[in-house]
Amino acid sequence: MNTAVAVNTSTHSVTYVTDNLLKSIKNIIRLSGLNPSKFADDWGCMERGIKTWLDTQDLEKVVLEVYEPKTDKLVGRWDFEISYGFSGDGFFFVDPDVIKYHIRKQGLIPNTCEYRILTTTRPGRPDVQGWAKATFRSTDGFVRQSIGTTIDGSGLSTSGAYWRKAS
C-alpha cells in the first residue's frame, strides 16, 4: 500500500508573509525614530486587509509613506512588492538584517513626521473594512533603492525598496 501526502502551503504562506511584512514595517517605523503606537493600534485592520488580498492574490504592493505633516511632503517611503509563485520549495525566510542595514544607511527620520500604510491592489479585489482609496504622495526628487527579496513564504514573496532624496 502506498500513501501520498500533499501539503497546501498557500494558507501557511499567506499567514507567514502577512505576519513578517507587518513586523518588517513596524521595525522600519521604530528603527527610523518614529512612534509605532499608531501602527500598533491599526495592526488588526492592516492584518485583515493584507491577509485577505494576499489570499485572493489581489495585493500588488504595500507602501509605508513617511511625510512632514506641516507641508504634506514626502520624507521617505518603503515599498514591498508582492510576487505570487506558490510553487516554492517549502522554504520560508525573512531577512530583517537587510532592512536594518538600509535604515542605518538612510538615517533617522525627524520624529515630527507622520506615516501611513497604503496598498496597490488589482481591480475587483474584495473590499476590506477600514481600508479606503488614497493617493500616493509624489516621489519627485527621490531615488528608488532596491534591497531585494525580504520575505519568502515558499513562493509567495516580497521584494523591498526604499526611496531616498536624490543627491
- Residue 110 belongs to domain with CATH number: 3.30.900.10
| 3-class DSSP state of 153 | strand
Q: Looking up cell 537587510, which residue turns up?
A: 98
Q: Are 157 and 149 in contact (CB under 8 A)?
A: yes
Q: Is residue 14 part of a domain?
A: yes
Q: Say what angle helices 43-55 and 10-31 make with each other, to 10 degrees.
A: 140
Question: For residue range 4-29, what is the model confidence (pLDDT) as tens digits?
Answer: 334 556 888 999 999 999 999 999 99
Name the strand (E) or helix (H) holding 137: none
Q: pTM (2 decimals)?
A: 0.90
- Write out the residue range of the structural domain in which residue 49 sits: 10-165
Question: For residue range 27-78, what is the model confidence (pLDDT) as tens digits?
Answer: 999 999 999 999 999 999 999 999 999 999 999 999 999 999 999 999 999 9
Q: How many domains does the chain have?
A: 1
